[in-house]
Each structure stands twice: as structure tokens, then as C-alpha cells.
Chain A
Amino acid sequence: MDVKLVNPFIDAFTTVLPQMGFPTPQRTGMTVNQQNAVSQGVAVIVGFTKEIRGNVVYNMSEETAKFIASTMMMGMPVESFDEMAQSAISEMSNMLTANAATNLTALGLEVDISTPSLTVGSDFQIKISNEQYLSVIMDVSGHQVEIDIAVKQ
């Protein structure tokens, strides 16, 4: 697992979120994992392929998802994680991954990304790789988003 291939995803997160009205996210942790990831409540899976193949998961609690959706919708209160909030989180995941794809192109690696798959539920497992993958914890205004990245060259 090449860290060089992971930075484009982290850079995308720190670049795109401020454009949507968030303070600059801080990276607060990074681990190499083998075991399946565990959903924190809301997990969006985005697949990519072409010169490198893999999956990225944006994994967060429902509270965090509602906070992000609310901020994206100009502070509109989000009481429940309804269809509109789900669309916001899907769209954010799409933007983040598209931005990461652009960053990867700058490294000479073209990738095409799939539509995001949003999953909701508690404590279910997410398997994105048979090998090791990287988890990065990003802090956004005290809310944690875990980005799980599995890349194969």
C-alpha cells in the first residue's frame, strides 16, 4: 500500500471541505488495517478503476453526517438523516473522490470513479480489500470522519 497514492484523497478532503463552508479539516490519526472496517453509522463507498483500482469509504456517525449535511445546506437544520441529507452526503463523497481523481491525474494516474453507494446502519462490517488498507481520521469542527482507502496499482 503506497502512501503516495493515499495523499490525493486526504488532500481532496482538506481542499474541498473549506469550499463548502467548513473550517480546514485536521488529520488526527492514521492506521494501517487488515481487519474489516466497522460502520460508524453512515458509510459511503466509492469505487474507482483505470490505472489504479480500489475503493474509498467515508465512514462517520449519523450525527456527523447530519452536521455535514446541514453545513452543506447553508446551515439548514437537519433533524433526521432523511433523503435530502443522504443526497448531500452522497454528493460530498462524489466531490471528494472526483477531486482525489484529479489529484491522482496530476501524478500521472488516471482513474474513473463510480457513483457513491451510501450505506446506513450500526456496527456492520465493510470489507474493501483482501490486503492492507489505510484509515485516516479527519477532524472537522470536532466531528470525525474516517476515510478508508484501498488502492491497487
Chain B
Amino acid sequence: MEKVKVMVVDDSRISRMMVSSMLAKTNFEVCAMAENSAEAVALYAKTKPDVVTMDMNLPDADGIECTRRIHAIDPKAKIVMISAMKDAKLIMQGRMAGIGSFLQKPVSTNELIDTLMIMCNENVGAVAVYRESYVTTFAKVLQQSLLSIFGIKSEIEISQNEDSVVRVNGVAAVIGIVGEPKGRVALYMDSDTMYSLSRAMLGMDPQDDLSADEAEAAIEEAGNIIAGRAVSRVNDVFKDKEMRITPPGTVIGTDIILSNPELISFNVIAKTSYGDVHMSVGFARGV
């Protein structure tokens, strides 16, 4: 996915650094940093950012005036104000000047990212937020873990699962997610893939004996590791969140339907030489 360009306007070097570090592990890229209004207008014209974070206090003009000047050169400019003060008068003046959203310092990482995402795509709501903030991380961790745990490369595809129904033939390790947001992740695959992957995980040859119990336990442990890593990664980016995982529950059999219509859920498929490894990631509605 293409990086989303962000320009940070703030007279404080520390504030600029904080915003850039919050965006460092995300899909946003700081393309410009300005410390005053004149510089902001010049850099906006030069770098054409997708979205701007704007401080209220600038040495040569305030953030509202700076917003007006940017809007003069690009009426569609998307600007979010980040200021120490956030009162009704400021919000009203800001809205009239064309500021789309207001955040108060200190701003939390998830607040910033979710706001920037919603601003960059006004038609998207929770689905896109979940997808970009969480599911892409789960997918990356799945891909990296398949390589580190099983030693296999994979191609990843992510899609939204509209009806939130998953069909399992083989094995599914279901791991709950608690904290904010709540949800669950299920790692599942068919039996052949389960045996191949488990042998790879345990360093066994294809002809070595491996019981169903052992193979299922291997997949369960892999699910546990992958979910744990993904949640740690999310916690690392969103420092104010603490998601945790519950112990895995595993279902084994044919024609099992895993149905969670109340969740917003996504399918991640990792295509490997051993077969497809599926991961369903679902979160409770309401960010």
C-alpha cells in the first residue's frame, strides 16, 4: 500500500519529533516538517502532503491563519489541529478556516493514527481503521512467523469478511483478544497443510511419524505465538493500548463453521508451498 504523506507544522522541535516517532511504524510518512506558517505554506506547495497536522501557536501567524493560507493554495487540503487548548471557540474558528479535526496535546498514538486515517478517507469508518491499524499488522506477523517458525515463504492476501463466517476443514486455533479493542483471531488450515507445517515446525522429515494430537498441538502453539507477537506489535505502536490474548481453544473436524456476525472481520490468506494458511481476525464493532 502506498504511504500516506503527512506534513507536521509545529514550532516545537520536540512536538515535531513526537508526531514523527508515532507515525514511524505506520503507513504514514512524514514528508515535511515546518516550524512556522511561512515555511508551512512553502513546504505544502512543494511536497503536496495528503494530510497536515497543525499546531495552534506558531511564531509568525496562528494555526488558523496558517490553515487559511494553505487552503488558499489548495482548497481540498486536509488539516488536523493538534493544540494544547481545545475549546468551543477554537473549534468553531478552526472549522470555518477549514480544519477537519481537532486533537488535544498530548495526543495518543492511536488517536492520531485513527484521526489521520479517517481524514484521509472520509468514506471509511471502523472497517478501514481496523484494517490499517490492526489487521495489516497481524498479516505481516503471520508472514514473518511462517518464515521464522516453519521456514516457509508466503504470499499474503487480506480481504474483509462481510458476513464474518469462516469454514474450517481441518484445524482452527481460536485465540481471544482482550483489552481495546476486543476480538478474536483464528489460525486455520486443512489437515494436509497441518501435517506438513507441523513436521516443518518440529524439524521432521515427511515420512516421520506425527500423531494428530501432536500436529494439532503444533498448530495451536503456532497460533498462540503469532497472535501474541501481533498483539505485542500493536501494543508497541499504540502505547496507550494494552491488548492481550487468551489461551488458545482448538477445534478439529470437518465442515465446522466459525460464525461471528457481531464482529468486523477480515480474512488473511498466506499462500505457501505447503498449502494455504488462513487467519481470520475479527474485532468487536465500535472503535
Residues of A within 8 A of B (CB): 36, 39, 43, 45-50, 53-55, 57, 83, 86-87, 90-91, 112-130, 150, 152
Contact = CB atoms under 8 A, between A and B. Distances in A.
Contacts of A127: 216, 220, 249-252
B260 A121 contact: no
Contacts of A39: 251, 253, 256
A115 B176 contact: yes
Q: B-side binding surface: helix, strand, loop or mixed?
A: strand
B234 to A, nearest CB: 15
A112 B174 contact: no
Interface string B246-277: 11111111111111111100000000000000
Contact of A124 (B174, B183, B253): B253
Contacts of B256: 39, 119-121, 124
Contact of B182 (A115, A118, A128): A115
Given A54-B247, A57-B249, A128-B249, A121 B257 contact: yes
Q: Which of A47, A49, A87, A123 has the most CB of B within 10 A?
A: A47
B244 interface: yes
Contacts of A129: 247
A25 to B, nearest CB: 23
Interface residues of B, number: 37
Contacts of B258: 117-119
A116 B178 CA distance: 11
B251 A125 contact: yes
Interface of B: 163, 174-179, 182-184, 186, 216-217, 220, 244-263, 282-284
Contact of A114 (B178, B252, B261): B178
Contacts of A114: 176-178, 182-184, 246
A118 B254 contact: no
Contact of A117 (B186, B217, B245, B254): B186
Q: A-side binding surface: helix, strand, loop or mixed?
A: strand
Nearest to B217: A130
A115 B284 contact: yes
A30 B92 CA distance: 64
15 contacts: A43-B251, A49-B246, A87-B261, A90-B260, A113-B178, A114-B178, A114-B182, A115-B283, A117-B176, A120-B256, A121-B255, A126-B251, A127-B249, A127-B250, A128-B247
B178 A36 contact: no
Nearest to A57: B249
Contacts of A36: 252
A124 B250 contact: no
Contact of A49 (B178, B216, B249): B178
Nearest to B172: A119
A23 B245 CA distance: 35
A118 B168 CA distance: 13
Nearest to A55: B249
Contacts of A43: 251
A47 B175 contact: yes
A45 B249 contact: yes
Q: Which 7 A-B pairs have the closest CB atoms?
A: A114-B176, A47-B246, A124-B253, A47-B176, A112-B178, A121-B256, A45-B249
Contacts of A118: 258-260
B253 A121 contact: yes
Given A114-B183, A115-B176, A127-B220, A49 B247 contact: yes
Contacts of A121: 253-257
